[in-house]
Every structure is written in C-alpha cells, then in structure tokens.
Amino acid sequence: MSLNRFLKPAEQGHPESPPRGPRPRMRREVAVLALLAIFGTGVALGVGTMILVAKSRTQGTPIAGIPPAAAVPTPAETAPPAPSAAESERGRKVIDEPWGERRPPAPAPAPAQVNALPGSAPAPGPASRPLAAPVKADAPATPLVSPQPSTATPPATPPPVVPKAAPALAPAPAVSALQPVPDPLEADDAKARAIGEDPANILGPEACSKCHAPAYKVWQGTHHFAADKTAPRSELGKQILTKLGGPALFKKRKDCTQCHVTMQGAGDKAEPKWGISCESCHGAAAKWISIHNNKAMDRSARLIEAAKNGMCRPDRTYKVLTNCMECHTVPNEEVINKGGHAPGHDFDALVFSQGEVRHNFLGSPDNAAPTAGRKRELYLIGQVLFLEYGLRGLAKATVDGDFAKAQSGRVERTLDNLEKIQAKAPLVGVGAILQATQAATAAGDLRPGNKAALLKVADAVHAEVVKLSDGQEVAKLSALDEMLPGERGYIGKVQTGK
C-alpha cells in the first residue's frame, strides 16, 4: 500500500526534490505507525462484532442496534413429509371432481355442546374430513375394487388429513340430549312395507277423495298427478327405455313404475292406472283404510294398527321422506349409467314438500303452512336421510361411472351441511353421525365400491335418524331457523284446494 498520498509533494521523493536530512525519514515512520494503529483497531472491532453476532444467533441474545436474525431452516426441516403408500396412490388420481382429495387446514374446535361418544374422536369440522377417491368424468367405466388397507408407517409429523383427537367433551345440556321414543312399529316395518307396496292392495285416489277432497284437489294440480303421462312417454323417456331394453319393458321394471306411475292389480296383471298418487306415498290402502276410518276405535291403537297394515303415517317423518328419497335420488346404477337417466336431485325435504304438493288440511281448511317445529324436522331429518341414501348408493356402485360420481358428491355435500348445522344447533344424534363418518374416513372406507364398510356407516346413520324422527328435540331447535330455506325457494306454488 503506497503512503505517498499522505505526504506533501516535496516529501514524496520525486527526482526534482533535493535530498534532505533525517526529518523526512521521521515523518514517514510516524505516518506508518499511525496507519498500523488505525488498521489494528478496525480489525479488532470487526472480529469482536462478528463474535457477538454469532453468539446472538445461537443463543438468542439481543445486541443493541442489531436485530436477532431469523433461524434459517435446514433442508430436512423444509422438506414435506414422505407420503404413505395410500397417499401416493391417491395422489396419482386426477383431482377434478367435487369428491377429490383435499388437504385441510387446521380444524376448528368442536362445539362445546356436542356429546362425544365414549372412546371416540370428536365430530369433524368442515376441513377435517378427507374425501374419497375422485371419479373422472371422462374416464371409461372400469370395475371398482375395494381398497386394501395400507401397511405404511405414518409419518412422525402431524398426519396430513386426520386431525389429532381432542379430549372427550362433557355431557351436552338437556336441550341437546335426544330421548328416543320407543316405536312399537319398528319390528313390523318390513312386513308393513311389503303390504303397502303391493299393487294388489291399491284402491286408487278416489277412495281417499271421499274424506280428503281438498287434498285430492291439490294433487290434481301437481307434477305427481301427470307423472304417468309425461316422463315415460317423452322423447327422453323413450330413449332411456330403449337403452335399457325397449319401451315395452316399462311395466315390468319396478324401478320405473314405482317412481312414475301407480300400478294396480295382482302379479303380472298389474297395470299403470295413475301418476304418483296418494298410495304411492302413504301405502296401498286395502288393508288399512277400514282401520283408519274406524272412529270408534282408540286413536292411538288405530294409528298403530293402520301402520302395521301398510299405512305410512304422516307423523312418522322418516318413513314418509323415505318414499321421497327412493325416487328423487334415483338409486339405480343401471338406469343412470346405461340408460342415461339423470341422477336425481340434491333433495331438500322442506323445499320439495312445502310447495305444490303441500296438503296440510288437518285442522285447517286453507292448506296451512307448517309450524316452525315441523319445518325444522323436515329440514334436518331430510338432510340426515339424504346422507344415508348417498352412502347406500355409493355401496351399490360397481363401476366408476356417473352413478358413483353422483353418490360421492352427494355424500360430501351433505356432510358439509350437517357440520354447519351441528355448529349452529348441536344434537347428540348429529354428533354421533359425524363421528361415525370421521372414523370411516380415517380408515379409508368412504369410497365407491367399498360395500361392507359403507353399509355399516349407513346403518349407523339410519339408527340415529330414526331416533331423531321419533323424538321431539329437533322441533325445539330454534337455532336452525336461520339456515332454513325461504318459501320463495319451495318447488311449485302452494294450492288452496278450492
């Protein structure tokens, strides 16, 4: 390093400068010593600062004027957890359908009012439920194979889809505790159903009109009334029947006749006589109409005996809505995949039952709107029943087609709705249903073709919806009101029956 820039021109030893004595040599030595002192001080300060900064980063000790540095993660810390064998398989599928796999955020805490079943995980939040394998809309139909359980060891980091179970919650308050009402008809339902579905026991809507004239008048203004003259005879109906074997087979296919016509007659002599009529929903009346009309009989005994002989009582909400679901969900794989029939509706029992088909003339001459409690029952029980039918439909799926896709999406959307309902108006029964589906999801059971496991979950849902239907708690849940669809959304115009 040159020192000339620190000296006067006359002292820089240029050729034109005359030689001098020892004074210039002394100035040079002083300058060199000063420079060395400054350089040494800078080095010492720099080394000291580096030591303090390093100590601050390793021990978190703050230094005035120097903010602590953020910890830099190592490659091992930033690398995602290795997927299990089952996740790798799911990852190879196209995630383009409503039932596609999704990685949830942290779940919201479960409502404090929900009862947790002993030894079970809490009901999931909307993001805690992994979805079943998606169905590609443009993929050819292929046989479904029940998935084999994965033997892969789960990663040490938090699982990617199933949240850690929270401690069991305290018992719910009395308003949420469902007290099921024992139903003496439950054991007789199979027999009663067979009687109520037998065309040989059909009397026809005129037999009902004698006592229920306003309801009969309402029926004549509905789509149900004209069902035998519309869908089966339409161009689309003919195309569907042709794909299924020919229009002539309509009368021989129960999956067609039970949803589009009322058949009358015994065995092979049964013929379509009306559209969807009174007995389509309330059961063939030949065995129960005389009991129903016997006013001298004790009312409670009369209702029970009529039900045992095939009548579907309006106060048994679950049983009435079952008849709706069996047609409006189209639970038939062949009719949808082969025939091209639409897969039905996202059936909201309140929306579909309180428009043009409403016939509430009991104690009211004006087809009165349902009470607030009745609306809550129709809405909530309808949602749970729709989930049950979606699970049973998914269990019927044998190929990866439109039918399986419709059932999968149905199950997912209904579970989302039930989670929202449970957050607003907790009930033990709904909490139990969500816990059952969470356990099935964690085991990888909620997927098309996994028949035994899906039916097991559907049976658990069935047990809870029967309790909800026969109990009184749903009608008291005023917190449900803000979730109920408004009258403007009802299907068809309400009629007066006059």
- Write down the pTM of the prediction: 0.65
Count CA within 13 A, CB hemisphere, residue 458. Answer: 22
Which region holds residue 459: left if phi is over 0, alpha if psi is between -120 and 50, else beta? alpha
Query: Would the pLDDT of 372 be above 70?
Result: yes
Residue position matching structure tokens 């601050």: 56
Residue position matching structure tokens 């979950």: 457
Integer Cα distance of 135 and 408 in angstroms: 9
State residue 315's pLDDT score: 83
CA proximity to 236, closest of 347, 344, 342: 342
State residue 484's pLDDT score: 95
Integer Cα distance of 459 and 443 in angstroms: 17
**What one-character-per-residue DSSP string does 165-189 give?**
PPPPPPPPPGGG---PPP-TTGGGH
288-302 residues labelled b (16+ CB within 10 A) or e (exposed): bbebbeeeeeeeeeb
Integer Cα distance of 307 and 127 in angstroms: 42
Residue 262: helix, strand or coil by DSSP?
strand
Helix, strand, coil share of the chain (percent; to 5): 50, 0, 45
Which of the four pLDDT bands, split at 50, 70 and 90, describes residue 339? very high
Going 378 to 100 to 104 to 431, the CA torsion angle's sign is: positive
CB 298 within 8 A of CB 310: no
State residue 329's pLDDT score: 94
Task: Give me the percent of the chain exceeding a pLDDT of 70.
Answer: 62
- List Cα–Cα distances, 362 to 63, 224, 275, 367, 449, in angstroms: 83, 21, 24, 8, 45
CA proximity to 379, closest of 469, 488, 277: 469
Integer Cα distance of 358 and 243 in angstroms: 35
Residue position matching structure tokens 């559209």: 275
Residue position matching structure tokens 């799926």: 397
Which of the four pLDDT bands, split at 50, 70 and 90, describes residue 34? low
Alpha helices in 72-114 (DSSP H): 75-78, 85-91
Please give the helix or strand (H or E) that residue 493 lies within, else none: none
Integer Cα distance of 115 and 429 in angstroms: 9
Tell me: the pLDDT tens digits for 265-301?
A: 998 899 999 999 999 999 999 999 999 999 999 999 9
Residue 274: helix, strand or coil by DSSP?
strand
Residue 273: helix, strand or coil by DSSP?
strand
Which of the four pLDDT bands, split at 50, 70 and 90, describes residue 231? confident
Integer Cα distance of 109 and 423 in angstroms: 10
Who contacts 363 (Cβ-Cβ below 8 Å, separation ≥6)?
Answer: none
> Angle at Cα 74 formed by Cα 71 and Cα 76, nearest 5°?
140
Tell me: the pLDDT tens digits for 69-128?
A: 444 444 444 444 444 444 434 333 332 333 333 333 334 444 433 333 333 344 444 444
State residue 173's pLDDT score: 32
Tell me: the pLDDT tens digits for 384-433?
A: 999 999 999 999 999 999 999 999 999 999 999 999 999 999 999 999 99
CB 122 within 8 A of CB 114: yes
- The CB density around residue 93, as the number of other CB atoms within 10 Å, is 15
Tell me: the pLDDT tens digits for 244-268?
A: 988 788 888 888 999 999 999 998 8
238-268 residues labelled b (16+ CB within 10 A) or e (exposed): eebbeebeeeeebbeeebbbbbbbbbbeeee
CB 309 within 8 A of CB 327: no
State residue 471's pLDDT score: 81
Query: Would the pLDDT of 22 be above 60?
Result: no
Query: Would the pLDDT of 233 be above 90?
Result: no
